[in-house]
Amino acid sequence: MPTLWFKGLSPDALTQRFCAGSDWELDNELLPFDLKASIAHARGLVQLGVLTPREADRLAKEMEKLLARWEKGAFRAAPEHEDGHTAIEFELTKKLGDLGKKVHTGRSRNDQVVAALRLFAKDRLRLLSDAALDLAHALMGLARHNERIPMPGYTHTRRAMLSSAGLWAGAHAETFADDVAMLSVGYALADRSPLGSAAGYGVPLPMPRQLVADAAGFARVHENVLAAQNARGRIEAAILAALSLLMLSVNRLATDVVWFSSEEFGFVRLPDKFTTGSSIMPQKKNPDVFELARGAYAVVASCEQQVRQVLLGLPSGYNRDYQLTKEPFLRGITHALATLRVMAHVVPHLVFDEKRCRAACTPDLFATDEALRRVSSGVPWRDAYRQVAEQAGRWKTPDLDAALRMRSHIGGTGNLGLGRLAGRLSRIRREWANR
């Protein structure tokens, strides 16, 4: 099968296989977005007089059929296609003859793949934001349900001050809300149409770029044609950077759960259906879900770095190296989405052992409380600090429920502000729904 760049020469088979790599396989995930952008491009060709409205309608109808076939698993790129663009044009030409050969007028595979990648990114960022917000809501629900369960707070992995299960869960929920804001930046970068930029230098035709952008579902045009091409990989890296930060938050959450659910802590119980066993130790109930979620950061961050390293030292304009950014981008997004979804599924079922949590709240957690009590009696802070340090826990553990309530400042255990957090999460979800 001839490639889109075939000019009557016979390319070396080994060279062609190496250059194509796994692009044809990766493009199968991008085919629906490539088709959407191609339909929009055909509408633009009507404005140029390259296609009649009827011809554009015929192309659009045939591409909609290809999309329906793709959804059923009946249309896929194959190794002989080299890439998804060839697969689409081959099918259009097979069905429509010379009309199918016209669809590539005024574009390059370069702006074609960039458009598909950006539409894919927009679609997946919506799913990622939903999954991250689902996880944040799950944590907020956990915080509400366990708001008054006292437990130790740690610094340097040592017991420090009184905390609560509600404070812990609410902290993670708020962190994920912050992380979703970073996804918005990646979405805005991707929401610009590169169509009409070709290989980075435009085309000698008055391409109706805004019309095509509107038809493809982009908010605006990526105006400078060279900047549009130079952005390939950069936008992917920016999105992966946001996902790396998100997975770093998952890493901390998962680490806490792994430790808090261990026999030594016993603060949290994992339902049996979310644990796995050992092939040699019959008693084991392992937190594999959380351990794999903890490791997701390494996967996504490595994808980000792979994209960045490919871009290093590239001159302006299209370079074939860009092809190597596609696989880590798709892989990073897929892994992050799967991780967020499983965490949102499991977290609501975590159970705090209130008895174990309360028993762990020993007098040493209240050293600062004791020092402040003495300050209220007129003792200077530095003297009170030293007195308490010398007495090393020789005071009673206060009433834990009262101690939680007295921390009534905004964000303290007695004033978690979960209602405000719920409002923030709802606003963020509405913002994504309106994109």
Q: Which of 22, 262, 278, 316 is catalytic?
A: 278
Token pair for residue 221? 């045009």
- The answer to whether the beta carbons of residues 86 and 20 sit under 8 Å apart is no
Tally Cβ neighbours within 10 Å of residue 208. 18
Token pair for residue 210? 């805004």
Q: How far apart are CA 33 and CA 45, in angstroms?
A: 19
Least Cα distance to 257 among 377, 135, 81 occurs for: 135
- Greatest distance between any 2 Cα atoms in the chain: 94
Extract the runs of DSSP E, i.e. beta strands, from 83-157.
150-155
Task: Look up tokens 């894919």; give the residue.
Answer: 120
DSSP 3-state assignment of 401?
helix
Least Cα distance to 333 among 131, 113, 35, 68 occurs for: 131
DSSP 3-state assignment of 312?
coil
Q: How far apart are CA 132 and CA 249, in angstroms?
A: 11
Q: How far apart are CA 212 and CA 323, in angstroms?
A: 24
Q: How far apart are CA 133 and CA 130, in angstroms?
A: 5
Secondary structure element (H or E) that encloses residue 402, with its range: helix 400-406
Handedness of CA 148, 152, 153, 157 (dihedral sign): negative
DSSP 3-state assignment of 106?
coil
DSSP 3-state assignment of 415?
coil
Q: How far apart are CA 435 and CA 430, in angstroms?
A: 9
The question of whether 156 is a catalytic residue gets the answer yes
The question of whether 349 is a catalytic residue gets the answer no
The torsion angles phi and psi of 97, rounded to 5 degrees, stand at 65, -135
- Burial string for 234-265 (b: 16+ CB within 10 Å, else e) reads ebbbbbbbbbbbbbbbbbebbebbbbbbeeeb
Q: How far apart are CA 196 and CA 212, in angstroms?
A: 9
User: To 5 degrees, how large is the angle CA 337–CA 343–CA 233?
Assistant: 25
Q: How far apart are CA 57 and CA 213, in angstroms?
A: 18
Q: Which of 10, 156, 377, 409 is catalytic?
A: 156
Active site (catalytic) residues: 156, 278
